[in-house]
Amino acid sequence: MTSTSTPSVTSWQPLTLRLMLAQALVLLVGLVLTLVTVMWFGPSMFVHELAVSGHAEEAAHVGEEILQGAFRTVSFSAVIVGGLPALVIAVLLSFYLYRTIGRSLTAFSSAAEQVASGDYQVQLTSPGLGPEFDTLASSFSDMAARLSAVDTTRRQMLADLAHEMRTPLASINAHVEAIEDGVLEMDEEITRILYSQTGRLERLAGDIRLLAQAEEGLVHLQLVAQYPAEVVAEAVASVQQEAASKDITLITTMSGLDTGPVLLDRERIGQVLGNLLVNALRHTPATGSITVHTDHAPDAVTIAVTDTGDGIAAEHLSHIFDRFYRARAGREAGPGSGLGLSISRALVEAHGGRLQASSAGVDRGASFELLLPRSVRS
């Protein structure tokens, strides 16, 4: 196991100390150059200026050396009286900046050590050193929050995956042991059962991967201006045959004046609508109906999939988008992985939209409303 070294708190001090000393050195060099200029070039320039201004006779009467000496004395005193306090003030301000920057860098160093140790509960406050440091603090806090969300998702996903894998693995093990003990023969029915369970594991792995990517914002969306009516028609057509075989009526309606295109990933939104329609078909009895209503507004498009089927009990409605909800109770009790609605919500939210469910109660149907903004915020 390798360990990564992180900067200690005092490792920032040489940097800030060097900044303070460099600033003080610049001011000191400026003061020295000012003194040299005043003492070396100033006297002759002063005498020359007197001559140019018509006071050459007075200068000659007083004496050039006396004038230059007086100028040196006065200029030196003025530079010292004005320059030294300025240098002291500059050093004090540099020291203040040194302490402020040092504390800020120490906070960043401690936060980095905290994140490196696996503790993502980091919230850096604004150090008050300007927009650049404010942006850095905000970005670091956002990064820590993102890492925390990813870690939470990973832990929960592993727990859910382990839970869901138990049933198909137990079935496979039981059949294999029965075959080894001679209780069962490897016939066509046993083969079908084994393939069914391995297929379930394969679907589960794929759904888990897609859900993790969607929840962590890692799904790459191909955003293209699309007409919602075309996406809806395509999704409805894909389940038309199954609906007809179950004697379920599919109805599409539309409202609103703005029927222009919407920026979306056609494949992903088609997947969402497909999940909602398949879920509605699974829970709608024969002679029932499923209505897909599209409402166009200037800033968003809403697509509602409403069925006349089993409905959702009030106590389960708030959990309908939870992972593996079918394993607990309620609506998704079919052969799927139990992740369809979770994946759908994550994909819609990746578009900057919203997916919500409503139901009047058991045996009173359910409605899933998908809202998509006409433009996706980056």
State phi, psi for 260 to the nearest 5 degrees.
-75, 180
Return mean pLDDT, the chain.
79
Is residue 359 over pLDDT 90?
Answer: yes
Q: List, for residues 208-231, the tens digit of each pLDDT value.
A: 777 777 776 667 788 999 999 999
Helix, strand, coil tally for the chain in percent (to 5): 60, 10, 25
> What is the predicted pLDDT for the residue at 14?
62
**Tokens describing residue 145:** 């929050």
> What is the predicted pLDDT for the residue at 378?
46
> What is the predicted pLDDT for the residue at 11?
47
Fold of 149-215: Helix Hairpins (1.10.287)
Residue at token pair 């897609």:
210
Q: List, for residues 79-96, the tens digit of each pLDDT value.
A: 777 777 777 777 777 777
The closest of 350, 324, 353 to 165, measured between CA atoms, is 324
Rounded CA-CA distance 144/137 in Å is: 11
Rounded CA-CA distance 285/291 in Å is: 14
Helix/strand/coil for 122: coil
Give 181-234 as a DSSP string: TTSS---HHHHHHHHHHHHHHHHHHHHHHHHHHHHTT------EEE-HHHHHHH
Which residue has better confidence, 103 or 183? 183
**In this structure, what DSSP letter does residue 117 have?**
T
Kindly report the CATH number that applies to the domain delimited by 224-373: 3.30.565.10
> What is the predicted pLDDT for the residue at 138?
77
Which residue has better confidence, 338 or 181? 181
Which residue has better confidence, 335 or 321? 321
Q: What is the mean pLDDT of residues 346-358?
A: 92
Within 10 Å of residue 301's Cβ, how many Cβ atoms?
26
Q: What is the mean pLDDT of residues 133-145?
A: 76
Pairing of strands 249-255, 289-296: parallel
Is residue 114 over pLDDT 90?
Answer: no
**Tokens describing residue 213:** 């990517």
Give 292-309 as a DSSP string: EEEEE-SSEEEEEEEESS
Is residue 254 over pLDDT 80?
Answer: yes
State phi, psi for 297 to the nearest 5 degrees.
-130, 165
- Domain extents in the chain: 9-119, 149-215, 224-373
Q: What is the mean pLDDT of residues 107-125?
A: 73
Structure confidence at residue 338 as a pLDDT band (50, 70, 90) = low
Is residue 10 over pLDDT 70?
Answer: no
CB distance 273 to 303 below 8 Å: yes
Q: Would you mind telling me the total number of residues written for the chain in this entry?
A: 378
Rounded CA-CA distance 320/352 in Å is: 20
Q: What is the mean pLDDT of residues 83-112?
A: 73
Rounded CA-CA distance 320/329 in Å is: 9
CB distance 244 to 205 below 8 Å: no
Is residue 4 over pLDDT 70?
Answer: no
Structure confidence at residue 375 as a pLDDT band (50, 70, 90) = confident
Residue at token pair 């070396």:
40
The closest of 201, 221, 163 to 346, measured between CA atoms, is 221
**In this structure, what DSSP letter does residue 62 have?**
H
Within 10 Å of residue 120's Cβ, how many Cβ atoms?
17
Q: List, for residues 16-41, the tens digit of each pLDDT value.
A: 667 667 777 777 787 788 777 777 77
Q: What is the mean pLDDT of residues 278-296?
A: 94
> What is the predicted pLDDT for the residue at 153?
65
Q: What is the mean pLDDT of residues 40-68?
A: 71
* H-only helix segments in 53-130: 56-62, 64-116
**Tokens describing residue 13:** 């001090």
Residue at token pair 């390798």:
2
Which residue has better confidence, 243 or 165? 243
